[in-house]
Amino acid sequence: MTESGILMIARLFRTTIGGALASTGAALVLSRVRTGSYGPGVNCTAHWLYGNKAADVNKLDAAHSLTGIATNTAAVLFWSWFYHKALGRQPKMMRALIATAALGPVSCLIDYKATPKRFTPGWELVFSRTDMAIIYLAMVLGMLSGTFQTSPSCEKSESSKTGRVVS
């Protein structure tokens, strides 16, 4: 494998882990705040396997929670691949910010409007739209963090280098 291929896989891995950890963490915290239990926030993502009643499981357990976390991580991997393609090999800071800003709304739109109901994240079973937006925001910020961890070459745009706007 070439060096660029290894770097691509490393960035994809870190972007996925960053997004999965951040979105799962946000779902756990919001679940605890909204329901008094950590379980529903991650268990609801297992609805594709266990039906909507997965969101009613209040405790963290191997069947529902691990399925939900694994499903969320797989979805983040899917979005990480598109994010990686949008960034290119050596993204400039402005390109990374624009791709990150677009990723949350685009992924939410695709997840909830173009995906069959059974394969949506299932967060609507537990959370309000505001909570869901927070989870998507956590995901994209986690992915951005993973991108910067692996791309020290993520260069600043010309305007931020010189302090003036370049047209």
For 15-44, the pLDDT digits (tens) are 999 999 999 999 999 999 999 999 999 999
Whether 47 maps to a domain, the answer reads yes
> What integer best gives the mean pLDDT of the chain?
88
Residue bearing tokens 């869901």: 132
What pLDDT shows up at residue 166?
44
Q: Is the pLDDT of residue 157 over 80?
A: no
Whether 162 maps to a domain, the answer reads no
Crossing angle between the packed helical segments 3-35 and 67-87, to the nearest 10 degrees: 130
What pLDDT shows up at residue 159?
46
Instruction: Please answer whether residues 10 and 150 qualify as being in contact, where contact means their C-beta atoms are separated by less than 8 angstroms.
Output: yes
CA gap 17, 105 in Å, rounded: 20
Whether 161 maps to a domain, the answer reads no
Per residue in 106-122, pLDDT tens? 999 999 999 998 899 99
Whether 166 maps to a domain, the answer reads no
Whether 98 maps to a domain, the answer reads yes
Sign, CA dihedral 70-107-131-96, equals: positive
Who wins on pLDDT, 152 or 115? 115
Number of domains in the chain: 1
CA gap 14, 84 in Å, rounded: 11
**What range defines the domain where residue 116 resides?**
8-156
DSSP state of 156: P
Q: What would the mean pLDDT of 127-143 be, rounded to a whole number?
A: 96
Whether 2 maps to a domain, the answer reads no
What pLDDT shows up at residue 3?
81
Q: What would the mean pLDDT of 7-14 be, rounded to a whole number?
A: 90
Whether 132 maps to a domain, the answer reads yes
Q: Which of the residue ranges 24-28, 69-73, 162-166 would you say has the lowest mean pLDDT?
A: 162-166
What pLDDT shows up at residue 160?
47
Instruction: Please answer whether residues 149 and 14 qualify as being in contact, where contact means their C-beta atoms are separated by less than 8 angstroms.
Output: yes
Residue 117, both tokens: 């109901």
Sign, CA dihedral 16-42-66-107, equals: negative
CA gap 94, 83 in Å, rounded: 14
Whether 52 maps to a domain, the answer reads yes
CA gap 140, 72 in Å, rounded: 13
